[in-house]
Structure formats: C-alpha cells, structure tokens
C-alpha cells in the first residue's frame, strides 16, 4: 500500500460550524487493536470531542469509538481519554497558545495515513451567534447562485 495514501474515517463538521479554525496540526493516536478494527469499520464519532493538555501530554476527550463486534473482553470503554502523540515542543507551544489567547483545541478529522491512524487538530476560536448567521447567509446565497446558473445552462 502507498505510504502517502489518506483514507478519511470521520470529519467533525460541527467544529467548522462552531469555531474559526486558526491553525491545524497532525497528531498520532494511542489506540488498542480492537479500536483500530472498529475505526476501519467507520465506528467513530467526533461530534462533541475536545482536547486537553495535562502534564505535558495531550489527550482527546469524549471521542466515541464504538466497541468492535468481535472484540469481546478486549474492548475498552468507548469514551475513554486517548493520548495523542506529538513532539514535546509542539505540545508546549499549543499549551501556551490555548492559555494566553483563549483558543481551544478541537479534533477536526481522523484518518488513516498508510497503516497509521492520525488526527487533525484545529487551534480554534469560538464563533458568536452572528458569525454563524453570516456563514449560513453566505451558504444560502451561494446555493441560490448555483441554482440560477444551473437553470441558465439548461436554458
């Protein structure tokens, strides 16, 4: 298999709705075998997940990985905190940015890179209600333009 092959498992669409993504980073995830098998079947939910830095290590919390059907006693708690693998200097840089600027670390997507499971983290700033309304208005306007262009082409 090609080492550079990406296979997206799940995206956190809610994160793009609730936050402005300032920057993004790639991190590995510490998983057990049955969790990887469940990921291959697409059994993951990033919707309400978030990241926290504790004692120089970074953890993803509330990420739900469904138990593997054939895993029996080897299955772990679906919502357990999972350690993310990044360099210490990257983690300390993220810790400084989140504490000073009021930014949050949010998982944006989870994917296979070759045979390894990776997670894309976003350094995010929360959106206000009027920001969300503005985004919805832009999407609606773009949708209307696309409809009009389609009708003109049929013509």
- Delineate the domains of the chain, giving CATH numbers in brackets: 6-127 (2.40.280.10)
DSSP letter for each residue of 84-138: EE--HHHHHHHHHHHHHH--EEEEEEEEEETTEEEEEEEEEEEPPHHHHHHHHHH
Residue 3, pLDDT > 60, answer: no
Residue 1, pLDDT > 60, answer: no
Mean of all residue pLDDT scores within the chain: 84
Residue 141, pLDDT > 70, answer: yes
pLDDT, position 2: 52
Q: Which secondary-structure segment (H or E) carries 8?
A: strand 6-11
0.85 exceeded by pTM: no
User: Tell me: the pLDDT tens digits for 94-126?
Assistant: 888 888 777 888 899 899 888 888 999 888 888
Tokens (6 digits) for 154: 């049929």
Are the CB atoms for 9 and 65 separated by under 8 Å? no
pLDDT, position 143: 92
Are the CB atoms for 58 and 105 separated by under 8 Å? yes
- Cα separation, 93 vs 116, in Å, equals 24
Nearest 10 degrees: CA dihedral of 143, 49, 42, 122? 60
- Which of 14-23, 33-42, 64-73, 143-152 comes out lowest in average pLDDT? 64-73
Q: What DSSP designation does 62 have?
A: S
């Amino acid at each position: 298999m090609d080492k550079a092959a990406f296979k997206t498992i799940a995206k956190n669409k809610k994160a793009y709705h609730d936050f402005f993504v300032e920057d993004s980073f790639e991190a590995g995830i510490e998983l057990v075998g049955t969790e990887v098998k469940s990921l291959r079947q697409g059994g993951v939910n990033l919707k309400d997940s978030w990241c926290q830095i504790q004692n120089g290590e970074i953890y993803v919390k509330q990420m739900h990985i469904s138990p593997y059907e054939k895993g029996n006693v080897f299955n772990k708690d679906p919502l357990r905190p999972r350690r993310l693998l990044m360099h210490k200097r990257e983690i300390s840089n993220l810790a400084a940015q989140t504490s000073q600027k009021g930014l949050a670390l949010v998982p944006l997507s989870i994917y296979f890179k070759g045979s390894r499971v990776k997670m894309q983290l976003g350094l995010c700033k929360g959106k206000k209600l009027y920001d969300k309304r503005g985004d919805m208005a832009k999407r609606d306007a773009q949708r209307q333009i696309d409809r009009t262009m389609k009708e003109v082409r049929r013509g």
